[in-house]
Structure 1
Amino acid sequence: MNITTPLPNSETNSATAVPRQIKLGLIGADIGPSRSPAMHEAEGRAQGLDVSYQLIDLTTRSVGVEGLPGLLAEAEAEGFAGVNVTHPCKQAVIPLLDELSEDARALGAVNTVLFQDGKRLGHNTDWYGFSEAFRRGMAGAPLSRVVQIGAGGAGSAVAYGALKLGVAQLSLVDVDQARAEALAAKLGGIFGASRVSAAARPDDVVPTADGLINTTPIGMEAYPGLPLSGALLRPNLWVAEVVYFPLDTALLQAARALGSRTVDGGGMAVFQAAEAFRLFTGVMPDVERMLTGFAAMRPIRHE
């Protein structure tokens, strides 16, 4: 990230030395199990900040992305310092913003929105979150040929991060072929057309790949199952996930059962949250503390 934006609502009352409340939130669908509130609030307490983080769930409010303008306006009116946005809002939010960071503009996807001086500033911390998590969890993994399932908002950021990591040839597969082709063209313009392409089906590219990345919501509690045929998995194909609720998805379980190296979506969740925390508050978080806290969190159960 190359933009540091101090938080306008984090001033400290000099008489009491108690910081004004920093109100944050997450807008998305089926986000009940999200650990973002716990991560941000815990790090806020550790930093001496009074952070509150609310879930703004499209599903529980019975609205779709068409409700996004109203939800953003509502958050601004209630004095939020900013919000994170997740599926299915990461691309839909862009026309509603005043400015974009360099990374968000390049990706065409936003996961962090700051409300500052009457403007809405869009950032993307997902690509950084994926890159850092992959470096830690998949050191030394071959990067010659990688297949990514999903070319939506999260997929854009992860593909960007994967190419920055040094993936030589990245194949994008999406249920919307045109979306995969558009993302390949965009990233090809940044990293070189020879390094990224769109494929029609996983079957066409996974058999010769070194690794597989799932950036679709398939595997989440609301979207159970596998994003591709389990028959395509094999021991020498590493598998990376972005889904973190549940942390141990059906895809990871199937890959691990074959002896594959895997990395779950927890690290990405923490690293993207840490960078968002810095943008929201202007305070550098303790990432190791956040990783420890995330690992200690119990899975959220729904009756």
Structure 2
Amino acid sequence: MTGPHRGTGPRPGRARGAVLGSPIAHSLSPILHRTAYAGLGLGDWSYDAIECAEGDLATLMESLGPEWAGLSLTMPLKRAVLPLLDTVSDLAVEVGGANTVVFRDGARHGENTDVYGIVQTLAEAGVAAPSAATILGGGATAASALAALREMGLAEVTLVVRNASRAGETLDVAERLGVAVAVRTLDGFDRSGVDGDLVISTLPSGAADGFAHEIAAALPDKGALFDVVYSPWPTALARAVRDRGGAVIGGFPMLLHQAVKQVELMTGRADVPVEAMRAAGEAEIARRAAQE
């Protein structure tokens, strides 16, 4: 495994990309990537959503021809893909998952753009230097959040999980990152459960509902919540924080910015149309919400 793959400049000609996962039909990635290709003038490029369970990943990757530029991966494929790659960026090794595969020069290169997505989202919202932070959840997104907070200058983070016995992999990530972690559980949550002026919730939709008011009350004045859920929105936690005057950041910007970095890696282009992708993604979210 080597360091980050820098690419070899813009990729010429027709190429394919896709997002893999199971279930995958709900993914916004095709909307975002196709909008980017259109804005970049890559009319011959295509991007699809492919249903792929963990056990089918190796066979699927073996079947891909030279026209493939890259893949986006959802959990649990982010971890399962690592042994199938030729090189993996240092960051993807540290967080234990690659959400991006770039095919170039006959090799498979693994990257993690989730961390970039979190950092960009927080910076865009004006949360560039939290004094301290609390992460809710202990899965793959929590691992990326740990790496993002390290990039933002934090060496200590509080991790609040539903079951402490399931936080092992995330604690291993923290050790590789050199971040000290204090683990607490949601059971019996009170005001002492939140440290700092930033809470990042990586919990699935609905998982924090029962603790929403306690978490909101624990945030200091001018504190911020970043909830990685983007649909349905707002979550009960987001509403509770907003009702108390706190800043609330939804999950869509993270999805957007990690996709922007994926497009850069797969195409070799730096002029990715971020705002066109944002508008397309927000329109699709609104369309789906109207149908529910």
TM-score by length of 1: 0.80
Q: Is the 8 A contact 2:209 2:236 kept in 1?
A: no
Deviation at 1:126, TM superposition (A): 0.4
Deviation at 1:66, TM superposition (A): 1.9
The alignment status of 1:107 with 2:95, answered yes or no, reads yes
Q: Deviations over 1:60-97 (max 9, x none)?
A: xxxx42222233234x1484221100122211221222
Which amino acid in 2 is paired with 1:198? V
Q: Is the 8 A contact 2:87 2:108 kept in 1?
A: yes
When structure 1 is superposed on structure 2, of 275-284 and 97-106 the one drifting more is 97-106
Equivalent positions of 1:24-43 (< 5 A) are: 24-43=17-36
The alignment status of 1:85 with 2:92, answered yes or no, reads no
Question: Secondary structure of 1:11's partner?
Answer: coil
Deviation at 1:190, TM superposition (A): 3.2
Question: Secondary structure of 2:78's partner?
Answer: coil
Equivalent positions of 1:255-270 (< 5 A) are: 255-270=241-256
Question: Secondary structure of 2:83's partner?
Answer: helix
Compared with structure 1, are the counterparts of its residues 271 and 247 closer, same or farther at alpha carbon in structure 2 (3 Å cutoff)? farther
The alignment status of 1:71 with 2:65, answered yes or no, reads no
Q: Is the 8 A contact 1:7 1:116 kept in 2?
A: no
Equivalent residue for 2:37? Answer: 44
Q: Deviations over 1:85-115 (max 9, x none)?
A: 0122211221222210121112111100122
| Distance in 1 between residues matched to 2:5 and 2:109, nearest whole Å | 11
Equivalent residue for 1:16? Answer: none
Q: Is the 8 A contact 1:145 1:168 kept in 2?
A: no
Question: Secondary structure of 1:234's partner?
Answer: helix
| Distance in 2 between residues matched to 1:132 and 1:227, nearest whole Å | 26
Equivalent residue for 1:229? Answer: 211
When structure 1 is superposed on structure 2, of 287-296 and 256-265 the one drifting more is 287-296
**Long gaps (5+) in structure 2:** none
Which amino acid in 1 is paired with 2:6? T
Q: Is the 8 A contact 2:213 2:240 kept in 1?
A: no
Question: Secondary structure of 2:182's partner?
Answer: strand
Compared with structure 1, are the counterparts of its residues 3 and 99 closer, same or farther at alpha carbon in structure 2 (3 Å cutoff)? closer
The alignment status of 1:184 with 2:171, answered yes or no, reads yes
Deviation at 1:153, TM superposition (A): 2.1
Deviation at 1:227, TM superposition (A): 6.3
Question: Secondary structure of 2:216's partner?
Answer: coil
Which amino acid in 2 is paired with 1:254? A
Compared with structure 1, are the counterparts of its residues 255 and 88 closer, same or farther at alpha carbon in structure 2 (3 Å cutoff)? farther
Among all aligned residue pairs of Structure 1 and Structure 2, give the percentage whose two residues are the same amino acid.
29
| Distance in 1 between residues matched to 2:46 and 2:232, nearest whole Å | 24
Which amino acid in 2 is paired with 1:147? T
When structure 1 is superposed on structure 2, of 120-129 and 85-94 the one drifting more is 85-94
Equivalent residue for 1:197? Answer: 182
Equivalent residue for 1:17? Answer: none
The count of corresponding residues between Structure 1 and Structure 2 is: 280
Q: Is the 8 A contact 2:137 2:202 kept in 1?
A: yes
| Distance in 1 between residues matched to 2:194 and 2:140, nearest whole Å | 26
Compared with structure 1, are the counterparts of its residues 247 and 43 closer, same or farther at alpha carbon in structure 2 (3 Å cutoff)? farther
Which amino acid in 2 is paired with 1:162? L
Equivalent positions of 1:102-181 (< 5 A) are: 102-139=90-127, 143-167=130-154, 169-175=156-162, 177-181=164-168
Which amino acid in 2 is paired with 1:44? Y
Equivalent residue for 2:5? Answer: 3
Equivalent residue for 1:251? Answer: 237
Which amino acid in 1 is paired with 2:182? S
Q: Is the 8 A contact 2:96 2:173 kept in 1?
A: no
Which amino acid in 2 is paired with 1:52? S
Question: Secondary structure of 1:109's partner?
Answer: coil
Which amino acid in 1 is paired with 2:57? L
- Structure ranking higher on relative contact order (CA contacts 8 Å, 6+ apart): 2
Equivalent residue for 1:291? Answer: 278
Which amino acid in 2 is paired with 1:246? P
Question: Secondary structure of 1:27's partner?
Answer: strand
Deviation at 1:2, TM superposition (A): 4.9
